[in-house]
């Protein structure tokens, strides 16, 4: 024999009841069907009581709407020959309900007993409708065989009386019996009671256990237990198999698929439970049994949460070594009907924290202060206090016991994403690791935990790209093109959640479509500023966040420290931060290290060339950089490769600007400022404390050309054309060329024009290419050479892209 339970959504619509009928009629008899009230009806009944007791006449309209809803369903699902008698019976029930509500309205009050009677009508009505919708089905009134006792002002199942009555009611059944869940009566008084929220699941489990059913099927509106709450995490999936202990842990910590006490009766009788979807009956669902997971299956089965947590802390050195303190804590709470779902205690016993619902917080503190009043007065207990509006997250899986490092991985992931753990707990069975955090961090905590343990199909990086010019635009195009490959081959999803220009910003937690991001930014973007962009991204409180700066903005670079302090990795093509004061540079790197995030700026030197990464690898492996010689300005190299008898200096500068090699203001390149910044960054990454002011400059354009407006610069720069051309001819006659070279030797830095002959590695440097010669203790006689494109939007964007990918640690 099977027991099938159908939830409120299953019986709350015509579609649901028709699907229910089809499922039931396909089963073999005997069969017991337990149903909840129509979806939303229990809440509506509580509302009717509230309205009537407050003298609000609108309860009449709400009552009429509720009655009409039931009659509409009867007209559409009940068998024709049963419609008239059932309609008359339902009318009589609603008349009784109307009289009770009228009485509540007149006296402006409602007792607990009256409220229990009113809310019981939901299951009475739904079970009658379902029973008369199924051919050969018989209705049974659960109030006659589900009995309760009163404990701490709560209705608790009386198993002795209930088991006997269930056996008596269902003995010899060979057909389909339909009854309502949730509702019951008191064993002593006979008053109507109920089993509380989710009590219909519990009713079905009690019946199944008492009758030794072969299986209990819980039919809901979801396909089964999910790996996490799909309302928060959009890439969850159904858990096909759970042990009783895993299911119980997930239920206790917020998984709302079934009511937690449901597991207890069927567990003791070893009756499996299947969670199925009424609206998708062909889905496999979740199978819950005593069978443990195989050792080779995933350590983590699912993640659940409670967003209604208050943490009560009892603190004091007087508790250390004192026997019976915990007994008194839990006795005091139990005596006042306060349920504890988490306990965290320091090994020294000087602090004990317990998790309760927010509604129980004030009472819990009060009763504990009364219990330990003497100890508080003697100073043995310092304080008893509560932290409210917190959230509890639990990761669950039987195989955690066989897998070392789970806790380390969990808390490492949380810390990296800036999630503060207020308290944590793990039992010796290792089936559950629970932690408490602030409520605002719940979404991020669930998401990073889910992603970290590969419950997600993809690892996700949530990216905000600032700057949609040549580099930023190229980066977004590269991301769009590469997204499918990274997802299919590397399991990495790049989710662009923010895009900003100098004027507009656009954010979407679900991701921004890159096919038409410019139009979306223009049409839907909000006014942008550096502070607004950072504020919005930080307030998204999203996991695995990466801020990508493709601007040359000083205001944006000044936001890095704030971003990193909020556990957001920063990838930047903007040289201003890494070349600013050494103190700021070091603070950014140290903060990123302490926060467990990344501050990456490979493209600050050499665009897409792996210069900084190479230097880091050399130093991290124990080598020491002694000297660097480099051509680091693609702009200046282009200019000196372009200058000829036909193309003077002034024209070569214009060509560099027109072809996108130079800064919008080419004076930045000609003044050596850009090269100095790059050299300072390389020196610092090589282990030397260098400031821009320390760099010796030997420029080929005197300072007076950089004064005044850009327009004046273009007028005056032609004055250098003739003299520079004469010098170039002399060089060419001696088979030499100019290169603007940056040099660092043991921390001493200089930049300037240098003559190189045909034997020098710099001589044949073409176009806008860069080249770096690195002399180290290992690469002493034959320096390491890195050479290639050192400028251009595509290669710079590719270098930024590579930094983003490195954060995900994929190969």
Buried b / exposed e along 689-707 (16+ C-beta atoms within 10 A): ebbbebbeeeebbeeebee
SS3 472: helix
> Is residue 410 within a helix (H) or strand (E), and if so which, with residue range?
helix 406-416
Among 301, 678, 754, 787, the active-site one is 678
Residue 711 φ then ψ, to 5°: -65, -40
Residue 223 φ then ψ, to 5°: -80, -5
Q: How many CA atoms lie within 13 A of 62 on its CB side?
A: 19
How far apart, in Å, are the Cα atoms of 338 and each of 140, 156, 303, 362, 470?
34, 15, 25, 11, 62
Euclidean distance between the first and final Cα of the chain, in Å? 54
Task: List, in order, residues 6 or more apart from 662 with CB less than 8 Å away.
Answer: 635, 653, 656, 668, 669
777 and 624 Cβ atoms separated by less than 8 Å: yes
How far apart, in Å, are the Cα atoms of 207 and each of 177, 204, 763?
12, 5, 90
The DSSP secondary-structure symbol of 619 reads: H
314 and 238 Cβ atoms separated by less than 8 Å: no
678 is catalytic: yes
Distance, CA of 655 to CA of 653 (rounded, Å): 5
224 and 278 Cβ atoms separated by less than 8 Å: no
Distance, CA of 688 to CA of 300 (rounded, Å): 46
Q: How many CA atoms lie within 13 A of 781 on its CB side?
A: 0
User: What is the radius of gyration, based on Cα positions, of the chain?
Assistant: 36
717: nearest Cα among 699, 702, 705, 700: 705
Beta bridge partners of 697: 751
- Which residue's structure tokens are 């009690």? 206
Q: Where are the alpha helices (DSSP H) in 108-177?
A: 112-131, 159-170
Retrieve residue 199's tokens: 């009590």
Long-range contacts of 584-589 (CB under 8 A, 24+ apart): 585/684, 587/561, 588/560, 588/561, 588/564
146: nearest Cα among 96, 110, 196: 196
Retrieve residue 417's tokens: 């994403």
> Is residue 383 within a helix (H) or strand (E), and if so which, with residue range?
strand 383-396
Distance, CA of 196 to CA of 200 (rounded, Å): 9
SS3 291: coil
Distance, CA of 723 to CA of 712 (rounded, Å): 20
Task: List, in order, residues 6 or more apart from 632 with CB less than 8 Å away.
Answer: 605, 606, 674, 675, 678, 679, 742, 770, 772, 790
Task: List, in order, residues 6 or more apart from 541 with CB less than 8 Å away.
Answer: 440, 441, 443, 444
181: nearest Cα among 166, 161, 195: 195
Indicate which residues carry an active-site annotation: 678
């Amino acid at each position: 024999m099977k027991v099938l339970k159908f939830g409120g959504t299953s019986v709350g619509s015509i579609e649901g009841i028709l699907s229910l009928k089809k499922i039931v009629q396909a089963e073999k008899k005997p069969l017991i069907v337990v149903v909840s009230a129509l979806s939303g009806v229990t809440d509506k009944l509580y509302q009717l009581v509230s309205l009537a007791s407050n003298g609000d006449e609108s309860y009449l309209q709400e009552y009429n709407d509720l009655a009409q809803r039931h009659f509409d369903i009867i007209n559409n699902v009940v068998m024709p020959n049963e419609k008239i008698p059932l309609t008359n019976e339902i009318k009589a029930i609603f008349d009784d309900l109307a009289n009770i509500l009228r009485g509540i309205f007149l006296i402006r009050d409602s007792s607990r007993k009256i409220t229990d009677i009113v809310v019981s009508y939901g299951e009475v009505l739904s079970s009658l409708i379902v029973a008369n919708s199924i051919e050969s089905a018989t209705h049974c009134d659960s109030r006659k065989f589900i009995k309760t006792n009163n404990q701490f002002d709560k209705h608790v199942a009386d198993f002795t009386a209930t088991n006997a009555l269930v056996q008596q009611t269902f003995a010899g059944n060979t057909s389909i019996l339909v009854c309502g869940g949730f509702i019951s009566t008191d064993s002593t008084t006979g008053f109507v009671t109920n089993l509380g929220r989710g009590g219909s699941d519990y009713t079905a489990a009690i019946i199944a256990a008492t009758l030794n059913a072969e299986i209990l099927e819980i039919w809901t509106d979801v396909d089964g237990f999910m790996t996490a709450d799909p309302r928060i995490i959009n890439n969850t999936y159904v858990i096909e198999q759970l042990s009783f202990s895993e299911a119980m842990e997930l239920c206790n910590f917020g998984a709302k698929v079934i009511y937690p006490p449901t597991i207890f009766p069927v567990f003791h009788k070893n009756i499996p439970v299947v969670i199925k979807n009424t609206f998708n009956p062909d889905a496999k669902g979740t199978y819950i049994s005593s069978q443990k997971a195989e050792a080779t299956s995933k350590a983590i089965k699912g993640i659940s949460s409670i967003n209604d947590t208050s943490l009560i802390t009892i603190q004091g050195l007087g508790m250390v070594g004192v026997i019976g303190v915990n007994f008194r804590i839990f006795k005091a709470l139990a005596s006042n009907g306060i349920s504890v779902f988490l306990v965290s205690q320091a090994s020294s016993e000087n602090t004990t924290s317990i998790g309760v619902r927010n509604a129980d917080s004030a009472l819990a503190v009060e009763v504990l202060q009364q219990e330990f009043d003497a100890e508080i007065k003697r100073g043995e207990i310092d304080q008893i206090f509560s932290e409210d509006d917190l959230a509890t997250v639990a990761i669950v899986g039987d195989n955690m016991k066989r897998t070392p490092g789970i806790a380390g991985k969990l808390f490492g992931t949380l810390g990296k994403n800036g999630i503060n753990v207020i308290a944590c707990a793990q039992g010796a069975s290792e089936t559950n690791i629970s932690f408490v955090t602030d409520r605002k961090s719940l979404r991020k905590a669930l998401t990073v935990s889910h992603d970290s343990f590969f419950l997600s199909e993809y690892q996700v990086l949530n990216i905000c790209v600032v700057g949609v010019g040549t580099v930023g635009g190229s980066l977004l195009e590269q991301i769009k093109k590469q997204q499918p490959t990274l997802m299919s081959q590397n399991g990495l999803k790049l989710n662009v959640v923010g895009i900003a220009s100098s004027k507009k910003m656009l954010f979407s937690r679900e991701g921004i479509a890159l096919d038409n991001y410019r139009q979306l930014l223009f049409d839907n973007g909000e006014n942008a500023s550096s502070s607004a962009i950072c504020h919005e991204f930080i307030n998204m409180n999203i996991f695995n966040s990466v801020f990508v700066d493709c601007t040359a903005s000083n205001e944006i670079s000044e936001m890095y420290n704030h971003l990193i302090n909020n556990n957001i990795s920063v990838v930047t093509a903007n040289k201003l931060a890494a070349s600013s004061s050494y103190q700021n540079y070091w603070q950014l790197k140290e903060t990123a290290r302490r926060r467990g995030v990344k501050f990456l700026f490979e493209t600050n030197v050499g665009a897409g060339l792996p210069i900084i990464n190479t230097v880091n690898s050399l130093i991290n492996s124990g080598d020491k950089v002694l000297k660097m010689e480099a051509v680091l300005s693609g702009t200046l190299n282009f200019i000196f490769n372009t200058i000829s008898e036909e193309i003077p200096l002034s024209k070569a500068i214009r060509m560099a600007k027109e072809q996108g090699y130079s800064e919008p203001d080419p004076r930045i390149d000609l003044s050596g400022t850009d090269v100095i910044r790059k050299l300072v960054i390389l020196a610092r990454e090589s282990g030397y404390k260098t400031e821009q002011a320390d760099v010796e400059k030997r420029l080929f354009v005197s300072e007076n050309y950089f004064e005044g407006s850009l327009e004046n610069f273009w007028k005056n720069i032609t004055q250098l054309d003739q003299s520079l051309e004469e010098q170039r001819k002399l060089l060419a006659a001696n088979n030499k060329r100019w290169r603007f070279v940056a040099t660092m030797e043991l921390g001493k830095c200089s930049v300037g024009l240098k003559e190189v002959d045909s034997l020098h590695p710099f001589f044949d440097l073409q176009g806008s290419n860069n080249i770096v010669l690195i002399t180290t203790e290992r690469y002493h006689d034959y320096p390491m050479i890195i050479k290639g494109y050192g400028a251009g939007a595509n290669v710079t964007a590719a270098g930024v892209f590579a930094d983003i990918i490195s954060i995900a640690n994929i190969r």
